[in-house]
Amino acid sequence: MQAMAAHVAVAMDRVRFMQARKEAEDALYHEKERLQVTLHSIGDAVISTNAQGHLLYINPAAEVLTGWSLTAAVGRPYGEVFGLLAADGSTQPAPDMVASTIATAQAQRHPELHLQTLHGGRVLVEATVSPIKDADGEVQGAVLVFRDVTEQRRLSREMAYQATHDELTGLGNRRAFEQALAHAVERTRGHALQHVVCYLDLDEFKVVNDTCGHAAGDAMLREIAQLFAGLLAEDDLLCRIGGDEFGILLAGHGVAAALQVAERLQQRLAGYHFVWLEQRFGVGVSIGMVALDAQTESVGALLQAADSACYVAKDAGRSRIHVYAIDDPALAQRYGVMEWVSRIEHALLHDRFELYAQPIVPLQGGESQGLHCEILLRIRSEQGELVLPGLFMPAAERYHLAARVDRWVVTHALRWVVAQQSRIGQCSINLSGQSLGDAAFTAFVLEALQNADVPCSKLCFEITETAAISNLHTANHFIETLRACGCKIALDDFGSGLSSFAYLRNLPVDVLKIDGQFVRDIDRDPVSLAMVKSIHEIGCLMGKRTVAEFVESQALVALLRDIGVHYAQGYAVGYPVPLAQVLGGRQGVLA
């Protein structure tokens, strides 16, 4: 019985062993199936080899990339299937990274290699090789995972190119120029190297854009870029750094040699004509130059100096060359203007403007009751001092801040007129020439008038004669629009232009303000007296009222009254005072 029991136990153990073995085989089979499915479904290409580098397995993604099928590839040296070439794109084979991985038992990654396919093509791949180890840590082979990065690298290169190149001309852009300057500045540190930076601004480019459209302007920029590039040496760098602005780095040049290059550019451009739809246009270029050497502080300072020198060249009459110098008085004036730009921005942001008013007094009697005055603008400095507009408005106009300043003035002046309208006969508000041609500003004024609970007849907008004549079409549109609302329009500084009377018929204004340069001398200069009489008489013939400016003595008041001038403005009849005080009492004395 014991023997039989022993046989039964052995048989049962064998059954259990066979069952366990079957379960293990099934589990291994299913694991293998899952592995096969995984390898077939992943997007990355996978190749496995034995310790000798012979290929054991290749998944479908690898079949597609290499051109080899699984059946054709198995058993071959992996290098026949996965033929790698050097990263530099040559025909030289890449180092055997599978052999290296097996030998060192260390994984390796290669971000960019060229794969030679079965059919002779090339694919840029990123590859990782890892060793396959057994339970004892012995390397039994390698697995190679790779993927096609051709398109990815192409897009990366394209984006990198676009980041540093101008799409229109193909030249380097501002970023590329600044990078090149940074390298040049670094190279000059501690060395006796000198380069010259040129800042070029095309003259009259806007004429082409405005006349023929941006397509014509783009075409001209491409032609000019080619012209400039053809005149520079191989080591010189030309970039387009703005709309119609170019930058040049003249490597290894002194200022004298750079001047010759700049003059050559100007001469060639002077002989160039752009043709578009049978129209011919000439164009010039203003050039600012600055030396780049061991004393150069930074790229920012370098560009600011070159830009400032270019500004001075342009302001001197255009098609000029100006070389930057620290003690240059023209540049000092330029920096003074730039400082005002910052102060104006600060005043707009922090509400540091103040409004004054100066009375405009009737000379002939019979006027309706109420204050007649002109609004005047001041800036209150951080030290508490008042700054007159003659100091800051040129900078505002130069850097296109004038319309923003005018918006502030109109907003605050209207607010005051609304609050004091029962005591105001008419209030004059000055506007800059830039505001006349700004459609958005005109819309702003119309909206402000609609929202202001005050008769428009109490408002008069003053524009200078120079601004009106230089923008005749836009000035007329502005004048007609405001007069249609009931506002009056005054032509300030009348008589200052040589063609004042010739343009007067084309400007439907209500008031002529006679330029003070004639008014102040009428008691001792017969020519000035005749000029004031003529302006008044012609104004009356055309149905306009006249105002004499800069009336600074009672003698002038008497002469103007005798001539028949309708109003006087100046220290003899009223000083400028803050708005809060102008209605408080008498500001001047009329004899």
Q: What is the pLDDT of residues 443-460, one digit of tens each?
A: 999 999 999 999 999 999
- What confidence category does residue 586 fall into, taking pLDDT thresholds of 50, 70 and 90? very low
**What are 426's strand-pairing partners?**
372
Q: Are 434 and 464 in contact (CB under 8 A)?
A: no
> Is pLDDT of 215 > 60?
yes
Residues 6+ apart with CB under 8 A from 400: 434
For β-strands 237-240 and 245-250, DSSP reports them as: antiparallel
> What does the pLDDT average to over 309-338?
75
- 90 or 387, higher pLDDT: 387
Reference 388, options 380, 400, 396; nearest CA is: 380
DSSP classification of residue 423: G
Residue in 224, 328, 326 with CA at minimum distance from that of residue 285: 224
**Amino acid, res. 11:** A
pLDDT of residue 336: 64
| Angle, helix 150-164 to helix 174-188, in steps of 10 degrees | 80
Token pair of 289, please? 């130059």
List the structure tokens of 365. Answer: 């009697």
Q: Which pLDDT band holds residue 10 (cuts at 50, 70, 90)?
A: low
Identified catalytic residue from 244, 307, 492, 493 = 244
Q: Is the pLDDT of residue 324 over 90?
A: no
Bridge partners of 142?
Answer: 49, 131
Least confident of 90-99, 471-480, 537-546: 90-99
Q: Which amino acid is at 335?
A: Y
Helix axes of 214-231 and 255-270: crossing angle, nearest 10 degrees = 140
- Whole-number Cα distances in Å, 30 to 27, 134, 176: 5, 20, 58
What CA–CA distance (Å, rounded) separates 123 from 112?
10
Please list, in sequence order, all residues whose beta carbon lies within 8 angstroms of the beta carbon of residue 192, skipping any fewer than 6 positions away.
294
When pLDDT is averaged across residues 425-439 and rounded to a whole number, the result is 88
Tokens at 458, concatenated: 């109490």
List 578's β-bridge partners, or say none: 356
d(CA 282, CA 467): 26
587 falls in which pLDDT band (50, 70, 90)? very low
d(CA 441, CA 199): 33
Question: In angstroms, rounded to a whole number, what is the distance separating the alpha carbons of residues 17 and 13?
Answer: 6
What was the pLDDT predicted at 37? 47
Report residue 24 as tokens: 């293990």
pLDDT of residue 591: 37
Q: Are 308 and 326 in contact (CB under 8 A)?
A: no
- 328 has catalytic annotation: no
Place of tokens 């023929």: 212
Answer yes or no: are the C-beta atoms of 375 and 492 closer than 8 Å: no
Residue pair 548/519 in contact by the 8 Å Cβ criterion = yes
CB 517 within 8 A of CB 497: no
pLDDT for position 355: 95
Cβ atoms of 456 and 388 closer than 8 Å:
no
Give dist(CA 577, CA 582) in Å, integer.
6
The Cα–Cα gap between 286 and 291 comes to 17
- pLDDT tens digit sequence for 36-67: 544 455 568 898 999 888 888 888 888 888 88
Architecture of domain 338-582: Alpha-Beta Barrel (3.20)
Instruction: Say which CATH superfamily domain 170-326 falls into.
Output: Reverse transcriptase/Diguanylate cyclase domain (3.30.70.270)
Q: Helix H segments across 42-110?
A: 60-66, 70-73, 78-81, 97-104
Residue 224 CA to residue 449 CA, distance in Å, equals 48
Q: Say which residue, 371 or 157, is predicted with more confidence.
A: 371
| Residue found under tokens 């760098």 | 237
Going by their DSSP bridges, the two strands 321-323 and 284-292 should be labelled as parallel
Question: Which structure tokens are listed for 240?
Answer: 């387009």
The DSSP symbol for 568 reads E
Superfamily of domain 42-164: PAS domain (3.30.450.20)
Mean pLDDT over the full length of the chain: 84
* C-alpha–C-alpha distance, residues 363 and 278, integer Å: 59
**According to the model, what pLDDT value does residue 43 have?**
66
Per-residue confidence (pLDDT) for residue 247, from 0 to 100: 95
- pLDDT at position 265, please? 94
